[in-house]
């Protein structure tokens, strides 16, 4: 009988341990991903030089795209808007950077017009193909230009990861295309609390 109770207790303990570990699993670890990214300089939507250092002290959501992208790019930017709403007052501590990989078409003026739609004032960055290419490589992002043969000219195969950068400029997390605004807001909150 005592043996049975002991086995029961061990069983309950193991179940509890499994439960705790699975709960822990839901929290992102937010390790410092030091092999991804570094400071860089590009041109912002006002035509001024922008360095990643300019947003030290803010948590940054950084996404690579281009304005002629009809689907993933605007939806991702809208998703960030929804995440900002969920963050409430913490939203002031978060800045979004949209890096265009289409320096040829995305001039600062075009970026300014395009991003004016989003109420949370994202920073839009562009540059020469060489300048953009350096940033793309540093963040290990893949972009392949693909000619379409129509009047739109070309499209890009591109990485859809969004980089979460901490207040010291270090990449801490990568969001995927399927991550919902709630997830983005939750992970940002975890990062803000850990700072």
Q: What angle do CA 190, 176, 164 make, to 5 degrees?
A: 40
Of positions 17, 78, 88, 128, contacts other proteins by CB under 8 A:
78
Helix (H) or strand (E) holding 99: strand 94-100
**Alpha carbon distance 140, 97 (integer Å):** 17
Which H helix or E strand runs over 148?
none
Scanning residues 138 to 167, which ones bind other proteins (CB under 8 A)? 142, 146, 148, 150-152, 155-161
Contacting other proteins (CB under 8 A), which of 41, 44, 54, 81?
81
Question: In terms of CB distance, is 68 or 189 closer to other proteins?
Answer: 68
CB nearer to other proteins: give 3 or 119.
119
Q: Quick count: other Cβ atoms within 10 Å of Cβ 29?
A: 9
Work out whether 79 is an interface residue with other proteins (CB under 8 A): yes
Q: How far is the CB of 142 from other proteins (least distance, A)?
A: 5
Residues in contact with 132: Cβ distance below 8 Å, sequence separation at least 6, in sequence order: 42, 99, 100, 101, 103, 126
Answer yes or no whether residue 181 interacts with other proteins by CB under 8 A: yes
51 binds other proteins (CB under 8 A): no
């Amino acid at each position: 009988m005592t043996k049975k109770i002991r086995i029961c207790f061990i069983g309950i303990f193991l179940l509890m341990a499994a439960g705790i570990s699975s709960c822990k699993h839901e929290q992102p670890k937010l390790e410092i991903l030091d092999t991804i990214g570094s400071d860089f300089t590009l041109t912002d939507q006002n035509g001024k030089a922008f360095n990643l250092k300019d947003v030290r002290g803010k948590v940054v959501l950084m996404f690579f795209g281009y304005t002629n992208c009809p689907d993933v790019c605007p939806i991702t930017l809208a998703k960030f808007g929804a995440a900002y709403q969920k963050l409430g007052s913490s939203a002031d501590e978060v800045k979004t950077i949209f890096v265009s990989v289409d320096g040829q078409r995305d001039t600062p003026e075009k970026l300014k017009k395009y991003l004016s739609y989003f109420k949370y004032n994202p920073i839009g960055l562009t540059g020469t193909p060489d300048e953009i290419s350096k940033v793309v490589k540093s963040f290990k992002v893949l972009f392949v230009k693909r000619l379409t043969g129509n009047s739109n000219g070309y499209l890009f195969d591109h990485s859809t990861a969004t980089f979460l950068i901490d207040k010291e400029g270090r990449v801490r997390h990568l969001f995927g295309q399927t991550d919902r605004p709630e997830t983005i807001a939750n992970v940002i909150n975890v990062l803000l609390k850990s700072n």
